Structure 1
Amino acid sequence: MATLREIELRLKSVRNIEKITKSMKMIASTKLAKAQRAMVSGKEYGIANAEVFKNAPADEPAKRKLIVVISSDKGLCGGIHSSVSKATRRLINDPESGIDPSSPIMVIGDKSKAQLSRALGQNLSLSFNQIGRDIPTFADAAGVADLIIKSGVEYDSIAIVYNKFISAISYEATVVEVESEEALKESAGFKAYEMEDDVTKDLAEFSLANAIFAALVESHACEQSARRTAMDNASKNAGEMIGRLQMQYNRGRQAAITNELVDIITGASAL
């Protein structure tokens, strides 16, 4: 049975935690509004990419994919990291997907990197951090795309795994395909026109940066919404725990006062 002093200290600790979680919820709410505005603008890049690949589809499905996983370096935001990690493992291990199990993986964010390194450590080729601490910019995406292209990793196409924003309280892991330079050259839509090699190369690089940017801003919005929800739940749990501890403290204090009164009355009766 906990003493009154122990209950009092625990009450103080839980109240401090509640203050922190409420503050974090307010900060996440403010950041979410900014992230949603950035996401609306960034989605235009993804729409343009989808239109290009729709009119120039690859002739054959790619077997060796480069999987780019997008999460973040921060925690306390629910299951956004495990969501993309599980989707990546399903993509690699599913025999119906036709993907080579040795396909390379590149990860943006330390949290998913730590999760994937335990299950698919042999597939990890490159990782990025310190991206998305604030609202992601196209410069961030272009830098990642440039490092991917210069990494020398061989692949037939790129699959970007990220969290798709559904609403302020829900998201889901999604995979978007980005065709490689060779796939664009060999597609019937591009063969119909005479183009210089540099045009296709530049388009492939720009399309990759576009796709990464669209995924980054949407994943960032998911992170802020998930953090707000997580901090809201944590604040409610702390409030419920405070109520239980306060009741336990009051009962213990009442019992202590009753025992003291019994002792006083017993002593007075003895005299």
Structure 2
Amino acid sequence: MFARQSVARVATQQAYRRGAAPQNARNMATLREIELRLKSVRNIEKITKSMKMIASTKLAKAQRAMIAGKQYGIANSEIFDHTPSETPAKRKLFIVISSDKGLCGGIHSSVSKATRRAIADTENPVDADSPIMVIGDKSKGQLARVLGKNLALTFNQIGRDIPTFADAAGVADLIVKSDVEYDSIAVVHNGFVSAISYEPKIVQVANENTFKESPGFRAYEMEDDVTKDLAEFSLANAIYAALVEAHACEQSARRNAMDNASKNAKDMIGSLTMQYNRGRQAAITNELVDIITGASAL
């Protein structure tokens, strides 16, 4: 056995002197690369599993907040049902709700596509220059590439945690105080269908002029401040209901995305492990062939 190892060592030294690399050098490099990839994929799997657990915990809290926040939307819808618009709106303000965070699938692109479809809709035409206000940097970047001239106002750092009514009231106050002209308001956000499904939806919100022109409100003598305050409060209600529902959709989508990423990492680990084992067996076989060949040469 010692003689065989000596022969193999001598053959390796002679190959180095001639400037040639050993036969298994390429296999060793490949095995090293596979080992490094295995290590990195295992680390990624740990991260995605942790993010999935965090998203699952946040999803439960977001669903409770969404159920409570929907009461605001129900109250709004009851008011809007009694304030039908007599004239169709041409210049509509689109309030797009997303977030600043990624790693949650196509949840941001869904509201961006819904906004573009609503502006390009031929059955319900609106002004091509209708203003757009975006909550969240992700959809802002997507819409800026296509409808950059329509962007009037953007918000960020909202919804990092569960949204509150104070966040919605602050956004509504800035919208009302802005100099943007519009005939009606449409809030575009993701609607929660189930823990694994969501779909974009558009909620129509009545503005101050709609309240003034409504037959139900004209029957009463009201000061201008009343309809103005009611319009701002209704807008805040609608934004808050959309924020909490969009937040629940985001956590659900992030949980599903991290679950899929963990499964893909697991499959990749299995494939790389098999490839590593085959390469190691091939390297051992080559070494045995070299030893046997050297022993036969003696």
Q: Is the structural similarity TM-score above 0.5?
A: yes
Counterpart-to-counterpart distance in 1, 2:238 and 2:82 = 16
Structure 2 residue aligned with 1:267: 294
1:49: Cα distance to partner?
0.2
Structure 2 residue aligned with 1:219: 246
1:269: Cα distance to partner?
2.0
Counterpart-to-counterpart distance in 2, 1:62 and 1:166 = 29
> 1:1-271 residue pairs with structure 2 within 5 A?
3-271=30-298
1:20-47 per-residue CA deviation (whole Å, 9 max, x = no partner) reads 0000000000000000000000000000
1:81: Cα distance to partner?
0.5
TM-score, scaled to structure 2: 0.90
1:262: Cα distance to partner?
1.1
Range with greater deviation from structure 2 (188-197 or 116-125)? 188-197
Counterpart-to-counterpart distance in 2, 1:234 and 1:249 = 22
Counterpart-to-counterpart distance in 1, 2:217 and 2:183 = 17
1:230: Cα distance to partner?
0.3
Write the letter of the residue equivalent to 1:61: P
Structure 1 residue aligned with 2:17: none
Please list every run of 5 or more consecutive structure 1 residues that lacks an aligned counterpart in the other structure: none
Structure 1 SS opposite 2:84 = coil
Aligned residues: 271
1:97: Cα distance to partner?
1.6
Write the letter of the residue equivalent to 1:136: P
Write the letter of the residue equivalent to 1:15: R
Percent of residue pairs bearing the same amino acid type: 81
Counterpart-to-counterpart distance in 1, 2:149 and 2:297 = 81
Counterpart-to-counterpart distance in 2, 1:140 and 1:221 = 16
Please list every run of 5 or more consecutive structure 2 residues that lacks an aligned counterpart in the other structure: 1-25
Counterpart-to-counterpart distance in 2, 1:228 and 1:110 = 20
Counterpart-to-counterpart distance in 1, 2:206 and 2:181 = 13
RMSD after superposition: 0.9
1:197-221 per-residue CA deviation (whole Å, 9 max, x = no partner) reads 1111111000000000000000000
Structure 1 SS opposite 2:123 = helix
Counterpart-to-counterpart distance in 2, 1:200 and 1:131 = 27
- Asked whether the 8 Å contact 1:57–1:189 carries over to 2, the reply is no
Structure 1 SS opposite 2:200 = strand
Counterpart-to-counterpart distance in 1, 2:88 and 2:75 = 21
Q: Which has the larger radius of gyration?
A: 2
Counterpart-to-counterpart distance in 1, 2:88 and 2:57 = 42
Write the letter of the residue equivalent to 1:227: R
- Asked whether the 8 Å contact 1:75–1:111 carries over to 2, the reply is yes
TM-score, scaled to structure 1: 0.98
1:196: Cα distance to partner?
1.7
- Asked whether the 8 Å contact 1:180–1:204 carries over to 2, the reply is yes
